[in-house]
């Protein structure tokens, strides 16, 4: 399937999910994975939804552990297959009429080679932790603040 068709599919699916979330007000569990390289953080811009800079991640499948979801999502979205993910906490919130519980993980990596899923991700970019862009997705500030700096571990 071409990237263009996949992107349209993601956008349509996201719109459908927004309608479902409005009607059902579900509880949703997911993962966000903060990739750091010393004092830089990796943020992505999705091809659907708000398209603001976000921490990569995704949904947890039925009977899947949060750690397994983190490994799967980062392999699918960024090609990061061998990362050692450490849990850094939970973020809870309400977004798009759903109640989110997000399991947050971090991996410190030195200039990892990324293989983007261009159907799902428009861009991935490194930002200094102290100079994040203004157009951040919800939860990004809280997730970045919860992760220790390179000097702290």
Report the CATH number at residue 17. 3.90.79.10
Does any domain span residue 92? Answer: yes
Does any domain span residue 59? Answer: yes
Q: pLDDT-derived band of residue 78, with 50, 70 and 90 as boundaries? A: very high
Looking at residue 14, its pLDDT comes to 72
Looking at residue 25, its pLDDT comes to 75
Does any domain span residue 151? Answer: no
Does any domain span residue 153? Answer: no
Q: pLDDT-derived band of residue 21, with 50, 70 and 90 as boundaries? A: low
Quick check: helix, strand or coil at residue 95?
Answer: strand
Does any domain span residue 86? Answer: yes
> DSSP characters for 98-114?
EEEEEEEEEEE-SS---
Does any domain span residue 74? Answer: yes
Q: pLDDT-derived band of residue 8, with 50, 70 and 90 as boundaries? A: confident
Domains contained in the chain, number: 1
Q: What is the pTM for the complete model shown? A: 0.84
Kindly report the number of other CB atoms within 10 A of residue 56's CB atom.
26
């Amino acid at each position: 399937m071409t990237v263009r068709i996949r992107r349209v599919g993601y956008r349509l699916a996201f719109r459908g999910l927004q309608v479902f979330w409005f009607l059902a007000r579900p509880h949703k569990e997911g993962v966000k994975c903060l990739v750091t390289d010393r004092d830089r953080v990796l943020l992505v811009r999705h091809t659907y939804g708000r398209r603001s800079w976000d921490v990569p991640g995704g949904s947890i499948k039925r009977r899947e552990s949060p750690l397994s979801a983190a490994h799967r999502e980062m392999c699918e979205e960024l090609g990061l297959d061998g990362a050692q993910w450490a849990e850094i906490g939970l973020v809870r919130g309400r977004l798009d009429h759903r109640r989110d519980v997000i399991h947050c993980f971090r991996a410190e990596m030195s200039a990892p080679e990324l293989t983007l899923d261009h159907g799902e991700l428009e861009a991935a970019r490194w930002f200094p932790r102290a100079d994040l862009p203004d157009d951040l997705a919800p939860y990004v500030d809280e997730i970045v603040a919860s992760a220790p700096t390179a000097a702290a571990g």
